[in-house]
């Protein structure tokens, strides 16, 4: 490396690259080098000229150290960019987020979080700004509001613990990540289930039966294929689920690790299963049981259009599609199924949800007591 002396600073020609390196001694009496080398000597001279002008005008400040540059980069990280990468790279127990979860997170971000925080630096999100956001967000839908707050808190906790972008998580509202259940679903009765089935188009009647009597989720049903039905063993194998993502469908694992399960088909609906396979399902092993006319996954709107009409006839305008799964869970609990058995049948990885169905089944105690009294009162003298 050759060097040349000048009135202010130094310029060295690097060998063998032939590029030029510029350096100077600043007012702090320390040697400072340009962050990059220059292809032409005149460019190196121009850089030194700018530094000299800064010193003469008392505008000069020491170049940022590596640590300072790193700190600045962290301080400049926008929440929108960080959240997008967080969803993309988030893992739970070493596995990426399931398509359904990822889609849910992106929806919460788009609808409720990014409008406020997208362009704000993570380091500048304060407790006050979170409190203001929370007071206005999804105020009429407490469950959705709790989900949005919980997601924001979790993302910022990663920013604190993993990436060291902040020292304190600004999400500090006690109890904001949980909510009381606003809608307590009322199970459908046997007669109402029969009405729902009969009022649905023939190709969708089995979908109602499996949703209720096998307690299956919508995403599990639309991905159900001929190969998943074992008539000999009378079971349905739930190994996948489909979820709508960005206008299309993505197939992945069921909602939870326990979601992969074999569910016994109640004997009284087996004839309907056999009929559906014979009349409404293609012969291929991979044929969907409930396809759209195109042969692809059925859109939720297609199902709801028919289901809403059927529930009106059944005099249950309050009944949501997911309530059919709830009805099936309560029916299973009424047989005396244990907590572990309910969890296995429903595909729950935690006991809290299954316990709700056991509690709902306990409501039959009054009916049992009434029937006991009826036995006494109806006894002939």
**Cβ-proximal residues to 4 (8 Å cutoff; 6+ apart), any chain:** 10, 11, 12, 13
357 counts as catalytic:
yes
- Helix locations, 183-315, DSSP H: 190-199, 205-213, 218-222, 270-279, 300-313
H or E, element range at 10:
strand 10-13
H or E, element range at 13:
strand 10-13
217 counts as catalytic:
yes
Neighbours of 77 (CB within 10 A): 17
- Selecting among 311, 325, 326, 345, the annotated active-site residue is 325
322 counts as catalytic:
yes
- Selecting among 100, 217, 311, 316, the annotated active-site residue is 217
> Could you tell me if 151 and 105 are in contact, meaning their C-beta atoms sit under 8 angstroms apart?
yes
- Selecting among 6, 322, 351, 364, the annotated active-site residue is 322
- Selecting among 20, 82, 149, 357, the annotated active-site residue is 357
Closest C-alpha to 238, from 212, 209, 267, 218: 218
Distance CA 276, CA 288 (A): 11
Distance CA 222, CA 43 (A): 65
Catalytic residues: 217, 322, 325, 348, 357
């Amino acid at each position: 490396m050759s060097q040349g002396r000048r009135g202010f600073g130094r310029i060295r020609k690097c060998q063998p690259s032939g590029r030029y390196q510029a350096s100077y001694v600043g007012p702090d009496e320390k040697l400072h080098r340009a962050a990059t080398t220059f292809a032409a000597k005149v460019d190196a001279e121009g850089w030194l000229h700018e530094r000299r002008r800064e010193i003469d005008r008392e505008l000069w400040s020491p170049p940022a150290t590596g640590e300072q540059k790193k700190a600045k980069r962290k301080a400049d990280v926008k929440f929108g960019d960080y959240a997008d990468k967080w969803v993309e790279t988030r893992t739970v127990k070493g596995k990426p987020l399931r398509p359904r979860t990822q889609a849910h997170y992106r929806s919460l971000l788009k609808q409720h979080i990014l409008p406020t925080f997208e362009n704000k630096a993570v380091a500048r999100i304060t407790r006050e700004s979170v409190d203001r956001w929370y007071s206005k967000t999804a105020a009429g839908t407490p469950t959705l509001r709790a989900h949005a707050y919980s997601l924001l808190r979790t993302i910022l906790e990663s920013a604190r613990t993993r990436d060291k972008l902040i020292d304190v998580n600004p999400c500090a509202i006690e109890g904001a990540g949980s909510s009381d259940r606003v809608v307590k679903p009322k199970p459908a009765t046997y007669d109402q289930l029969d009405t729902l089935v009969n009022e649905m188009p023939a190709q969708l009647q089995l979908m109602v039966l499996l949703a209720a009597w096998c307690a299956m989720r919508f995403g599990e049903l639309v991905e159900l294929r001929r190969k998943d039905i074992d008539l000999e063993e009378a079971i349905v194998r739930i190994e996948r689920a489909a979820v709508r993502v960005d206008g299309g469908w993505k197939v992945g694992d069921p909602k939870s690790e326990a979601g992969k399960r074999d569910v016994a088909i109640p004997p009284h609906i087996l004839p309907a299963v056999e009929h559906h396979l014979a009349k409404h399902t293609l012969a291929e092993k991979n044929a969907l049981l409930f396809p759209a006319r195109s042969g692809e996954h059925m859109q939720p709107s297609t199902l709801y259009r028919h289901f809403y009409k059927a529930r009106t006839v059944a005099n249950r305008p309050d009944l949501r599609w997911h309530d059919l799964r709830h009805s099936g869970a309560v029916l299973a609990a009424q047989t005396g199924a244990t907590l572990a058995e309910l969890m296995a049948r429903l595909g729950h990885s935690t006991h809290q949800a299954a316990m709700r169905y056991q509690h709902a089944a306990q409501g039959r105690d009054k009916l049992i007591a009434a029937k006991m009294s009826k036995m006494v009162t109806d006894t002939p003298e």
